Structure 1
Amino acid sequence: MKIAYVMDPLTRVNVFADTTFALMLGAQQRGHDIFYVRPESLEARGDEAFAMLQPVTLRQDPVDPVSYGEARQASLDEMDVVWMRKDPPFDDTYMYEVMLLELAEERGTLVLNRPRGLRDANEKLYALHFSDHTPRTLVSSQAESIKAFAEEVGGKAVLKPLDGHGGAGIFVIGSEDRNLNAMIEVSTHGGTRRVMVQQYLPEARQGDKRVLMLDGKPMGAILRVPLEQEHRSNIHVGGRVEKTELTEREQAICEAVGPRLKADGLTFVGLDMIGERLTEVNVTSPTGIQEMSRLNGVDGPAEVMAWIENELG
């Protein structure tokens, strides 16, 4: 097959941690042709999507990880599969790029994740479809509502921007904190932008679970444990990764979320869970497949590629 990956520059990737790199390498190892696509090269001519397609050969070598072939502007109709793996933020530029990829999907190319699903599934708000499994949550731009909610859930809450990623802009707020008003003002841009506020879960100190979902079913999970001086457990801010298993309740969350993911065309997804509660649903470029593969002794990228090969017959 011919498989294109719309992603941020390959020069930025950590070859031993980056999930997109692992998916590309896994496809290459199974004999498929892989192409790198710069997001800004996407364009439309009528109802046909085009991009600068650059063949690449990958090696899990941090010094010399990639060899580039000659790039050419071509129709995405030539591709069997296009992965949208550009990192957030989900801004206007991202939305237009997804709309262009929808043209390729309509003409027969398999696009992962499905463009319509990417447009509709805000990584914070999507979890609210499963509120039986989430912490108590408020979405608001109003300071008084946010402060009252923090009091209602015990005087401590987690404040998140709706368009954030990688732990950026997340605060643990407390009703007695003298910085509370300032944090709310900064996060809501003076009451003009909504944020998500969730009940603080003490289990966060033991880490949060990243569960990778493929076609609505769990592939495996990792536990990300925060540094002592951090409340965020994201790997890129120093979170330690440990082997973990899903509890019975966490399995039930996967079973509740899975059918909706499949219906929305969200094939490869990362669920975040703290204290057996669903906190986020990551759909744009979920990470963790290399860590999960090493800790669990599996080949996650090969499993993903096997699903694609079966899907396309």
Structure 2
Amino acid sequence: MKIAYVMDPLSQVNVFADTTFALMLGAQSRGHEVFYVRPESLEARGDEAFATIQPVELRQEPGNAVSFGEARHVSLDEVDAVWMRKDPPFDDTYLYEAMLLELAEERGTLVLNRPRGLRDANEKLYALHFSDHTPKTLVSSHAEAIKKFAEETGGRAVLKPLDGHGGSGIFVIGSEDRNLNAMIEVSTAGGTKRVMVQEYLPAARQGDKRVILLNGEPLGAILRVPLEQEHRSNIHVGGRVEKTTLSAKEREICEAVGPRLKQDGLYFVGLDLIGERLTEVNVTSPTGIQEMSRLDGIDGPDVVMRWIEDRLAT
């Protein structure tokens, strides 16, 4: 098969951590043709989507990880599947790229994740569809409402931008913090932007679980533990990764979320769980498959590739 990957610069990835690189390597190892697509090359002519695709040969060797073939500008009708793996933020550019990929999907190309699902599923707000499993949550741009919520949830809360990613812009706020007003002003742009505010879960000090779901079913999980001086456990800000398993309650959360993900065409997703509560649903370019594979002793990218092969075959 021919599989194209829309992503940020391939030459800049960490070959031992990047999930997109691992998915590409998994496709290559199963004999498929792998292509790199620059997001800005996507365009449409009528109802047909086009892109510049560049064949690549991959190696898990830092400094010698990729060889590029000759780039061609082609109709996406020519490829069997397209992965949309461009990192957030989800801005106007990302929105238009998803719309262009929907044209390819309508003409028969498998697009992962489904463009309409990507457009509809804000990674913070999507979790609210499963509020029985989330922490207490407020979405607001009003400073007084945010401060009152923090007081009502024990004096501490977690404030997140709705369009953030990788832990950027996240604050743990306290009702007695002298910087509270300033943090709210910055985060809400003076009351003009909504933010998400969730009750602070003390279990965050022990880490958060990233659960990778494939077609609505758990593929595996990792535990990300924050540094002592950090509230965030994201790997790129220094969080360490440990082997973990899912509790009965966490499997219940996966069972609650899975059918909606399948319905929305969100095939490859990362759930974030803290203290057996769902905090985020990551759909744009969820990470963690390399760490999960090493810790669990499985080949996650190979499992994903086999699922794609089966889906295209049927």
State TM-score, norm by structure 2: 1.00
Partner of 2:83: helix, strand, or coil? strand
Question: Partner of 1:98 in structure 2?
Answer: 98
Deviation, 1:63, is 1.6
Once residues 12 and 227 of structure 1 are traced to their aligned partners in structure 2, the CA distance between those partners, rounded to angstroms, is 25
Partner of 2:100: helix, strand, or coil? helix
Matched, 1:168 2:168: yes
Question: Partner of 1:149 in structure 2?
Answer: 149
Once residues 76 and 55 of structure 1 are traced to their aligned partners in structure 2, the CA distance between those partners, rounded to angstroms, is 14
Partner of 1:98: helix, strand, or coil? helix
Deviation, 1:132, is 0.2
Once residues 188 and 312 of structure 1 are traced to their aligned partners in structure 2, the CA distance between those partners, rounded to angstroms, is 44
- Please tell me the residue identity of whatever aligns with 1:10: L
Deviation, 1:284, is 0.0
Question: Partner of 2:76 in structure 1?
Answer: 76
- Please tell me the residue identity of whatever aligns with 2:230: E
**1:166-200 deviations in Å (ceiling 9; x for gaps):** 00000000000000000000000000000000000
Matched, 1:15 2:15: yes
The two structures, once aligned, show a CA RMSD in angstroms of 0.3
Question: Partner of 1:134 in structure 2?
Answer: 134
**1:232-280 deviations in Å (ceiling 9; x for gaps):** 0000000000000000000000000000000000000000000000000
Question: Partner of 2:205 in structure 1?
Answer: 205
Question: Partner of 2:232 in structure 1?
Answer: 232
Deviation, 1:202, is 0.2
Once residues 49 and 55 of structure 2 are traced to their aligned partners in structure 1, the CA distance between those partners, rounded to angstroms, is 18
Gaps of 5+ in 2: none
Partner of 1:35: helix, strand, or coil? strand
Question: Partner of 1:258 in structure 2?
Answer: 258
Question: Partner of 1:52 in structure 2?
Answer: 52
**1:137-180 deviations in Å (ceiling 9; x for gaps):** 00000000000000000000000000000000000000000000
Question: Partner of 1:284 in structure 2?
Answer: 284
**1:18-73 deviations in Å (ceiling 9; x for gaps):** 00000000000000000000000000000000000100000000020000000011
Once residues 63 and 97 of structure 1 are traced to their aligned partners in structure 2, the CA distance between those partners, rounded to angstroms, is 30
- Please tell me the residue identity of whatever aligns with 1:86: K
Matched, 1:187 2:187: yes
Once residues 245 and 303 of structure 1 are traced to their aligned partners in structure 2, the CA distance between those partners, rounded to angstroms, is 18
Question: Partner of 2:267 in structure 1?
Answer: 267
Partner of 1:312: helix, strand, or coil? helix
Once residues 212 and 12 of structure 1 are traced to their aligned partners in structure 2, the CA distance between those partners, rounded to angstroms, is 24
Question: Partner of 1:27 in structure 2?
Answer: 27
Gaps of 5+ in 1: none
Deviation, 1:11, is 1.4
- Please tell me the residue identity of whatever aligns with 1:182: A
Deviation, 1:12, is 1.2
Once residues 88 and 12 of structure 2 are traced to their aligned partners in structure 1, the CA distance between those partners, rounded to angstroms, is 15
Once residues 91 and 312 of structure 2 are traced to their aligned partners in structure 1, the CA distance between those partners, rounded to angstroms, is 31
Partner of 2:111: helix, strand, or coil? strand
Question: Partner of 1:242 in structure 2?
Answer: 242
Once the two structures are aligned, what percentage of the paired residues are identical? 83
What is the 5 A alignment of 1:216-231? 216-231=216-231
- Please tell me the residue identity of whatever aligns with 2:226: P
Matched, 1:2 2:2: yes
- Please tell me the residue identity of whatever aligns with 1:176: E
Alignment length (residue pairs): 313
Partner of 1:14: helix, strand, or coil? coil
State TM-score, norm by structure 1: 1.00
